[in-house]
Amino acid sequence: MGVPLDQDTKRGLTLIAPPLVYALALLAGPLLAVLVFSFWTQDYLTIDRTPTLANYAEALTDPIYRTIMGRSIAISGVVTIVTVILAFPVAYYVSFHVRPDRKSLWLFLITIPFWTSYLLRIFLWKVMLGFNGVINSALTGLGLIDAPLTFLLYNANAVVLTLSHAFAPFAILPIFVALEKIDRSLLEAARDLGETAVTTFLRVTLPLAMPGVIAALLIVFIPTVGDYVTPAEVGGPGGLMIANLIQAHFGGLNNAPMGATLAILAMGIVTIIALATVLIARKLSGGAR
C-alpha cells in the first residue's frame, strides 16, 4: 500500500533542508567546481577550458609533485602512528585509573592546550626547537653540548613533533570514549577464565577499543595530510607538504587548475588510505560486528 509522505517525514525534510542546501551550495558545489577546474589548464593568465588530463599526467609524473605528495603521506602516516601510540596509554589511564568524578577534569586538562591559538602553538615549537631555543639553551646550560643542535628545527622531524602535539587530544578522545564503553565485567570474566593481565589486555581490551583507535587514526591522518601552517613554519625546504604546494599554485605560481588537480589527488589518496585503514583494521579485529 502506497503511503504518501507522512507528517513526520515532511517535518524531517523541512528541518534538514536549510543545512542541507547550505552544504550543497557551499561544499558539494565548490568541490565539484574544483573537480571541473582540475581538468582545465592555465597558461600565464588565460584559462583554457578544454577538458584535459594534462594536469593529472604532470602531477603524477613530475618528480617534484611526486616527492612532495609522497612526503605528505609519509609525514602524516608517521604523525598518525606516533600520535595514536602516544595517546593510547593516556586514554587508558584516564579511563581505567582515574576516579569517575575526576575524568571530566582530566579530559579538560588534556584539551586546554588545544584551545590556545594554533598559530602561536606552532610558533612556540619554533621557540622550543630553535637555535637559541629552550632545548638548546637548556642543554648548553647543563654543559651537555658545546654548540646548539641544528637538526631540531626546519625538517620533517620538526613537522612530525609539532603535528603530534597539535593532534594529541584528537587521538586521545575517541580512544577514551571506546575504552569507557567497555563493560568492566568482561575484563573480570577474562581474568576468571584464566587470562593474565597482559593477555586480557591483548585479547579483550584492545580489540574492544579498536573502533576508537580507528577513529583516532582517521581523525589525525586526514587533516594532517592537508596541514599548511606547520610545514610552512617548522618544516624548512625539506619539510614542505602538499598543502603548501596547493597554496603556492593558487597564490604565487598562479596556476589554479594545477592547484585544483593537486587538491583532488590529495583528497583521492587520503580517501583511499582511510578506507584501506578501516578495512584492514576490521579484518585484523576479526570483523567483529
Partner 1 sequence: MTDAPLIRLRGLQKYYGDYHALRGIDLDIERGEFFSLLGPSGCGKTTLLRVIAGFEDVSEGTVVLAGEEMTRVAPNKRPTNMVFQSYAIFPHLSVGQNVGFGLRKRRDLTADAKDGLIAEALAMVGLDGYADRAAHALSGGQRQRVALARALVLKPKVLLLDEPLSALDKKMREHMQVELIRLQRQVGITFILVTHDQEEALVMSDRIAVMFEGGVAQIAEAEDLYRRPNSRRVAEFIGTMNFLPATVTGDRVSVPGLGEVPLAAVQATATTDGETVVGFRPETATLLFDGQADTDHVASGHVAEVVYYGDMTYYDVALSGTEATVRLSMRNVFGRPVLEIGAAARVAWSPGALVLFR
Partner 2 sequence: MLRAYVILFLAFLYAPILLLPVFAFNDGTVIAFPLDGFTTKWFAELWTNDELHAALMNSLFVAGTSSVLAVLLGLAAARANIRYRFPAKAAAMGLIMLPLVLPEIIVGVSLLVVAVRMLGLDLSLWTVVAAHVLICTPFAIAILNASFQSLDPSLEEAAIDLGCSRAETFRLITLPLVMPGIVAALLISFTISLDEFIIAFFLTGSDPTLPVYIWSLLRFPRLIPVVMALGTILMIVSIGILVLAEWNRRRGLARTGAKDSGGFL
Can you give the binding site for partner 1, defined by CB under 8 A? 1, 3, 6-7
Identify residue 201 by its one-letter amino acid code: F
Q: Does 145 bind partner 2 (CB under 8 A)?
A: no
How distant, in Å, are the alpha carbons of 9, 33, 69, 220, 275 from that of 169? 38, 34, 26, 10, 23
Question: Is 133 one of the binding residues for partner 2 (CB under 8 A)?
Answer: yes
Q: Select the residue interacting with partner 2 from 54, 78, 81, 107 (CB under 8 A).
A: 107
Q: And the C-alpha cell for 26?
A: 557551499
Residue 134 near which of partner 2, partner 1, none (CB within 5-8 Å, type-dependent): partner 2
Q: Does position 213 bind partner 2 by CB under 8 A?
A: no
CB nearer partner 2, residue 82 or residue 194: 82
The residues in 19-78 that bind partner 2, with binding defined as CB under 8 A, are 19-20, 22-24, 26-31, 33-34, 37, 47
227-257: b (≥16 Cβ within 10 Å) or e: bebbbbbbbeeebbbbbbbbebbeeeeebbb
Give the residue carrying C-alpha cell 604532470: 58
The CB-of-127 to partner 1 minimum distance in angstroms stands at 49
Using the contact rule CB under 8 A, the part of the chain among 63-71, 152-160, 164-172, 275-283 near partner 2 is 164-172
Angle between helices 63-97 and 242-250 (to 10 degrees): 130
Residue whose CB is less far from partner 2, 193 or 198: 198
- Calculate the dihedral angle through the C-alpha atoms of 139, 143, 145, 146, rounding to the nearest 10 degrees: 120
- Our CB check for partner 2 shows the closer of 229 and 286 to be 229
**Min dist. Cβ of residue 1 to partner 2 (A):** 18
The length of the chain, given as a count of residues: 289
Q: Which of 39, 159, 165, 231 binds partner 2 (CB under 8 A)?
A: 165
For residue 14, the minimal CB distance to partner 2 (Å) is 8
216 interacts with partner 2 by CB under 8 A: no
Restricted to residues 181-200, the positions that interact with partner 2 (CB under 8 A) are: none
C-alpha cell at 24: 550543497
> Which range touches partner 2 (CB under 8 A), out of 49-57, 89-97, 197-205, 278-286?
89-97
Cell numbers at residue 232, please? Answer: 610552512
Closer residue to partner 1, CB minimum distance, 14 or 185: 14
Name residues whose C-beta falls within 8 Å of residue 118's C-beta, 6 or more positions apart in sequence.
166, 229
Q: What is d(CA 253, CA 64) in angstroms, rounded to the nearest whole number?
A: 14
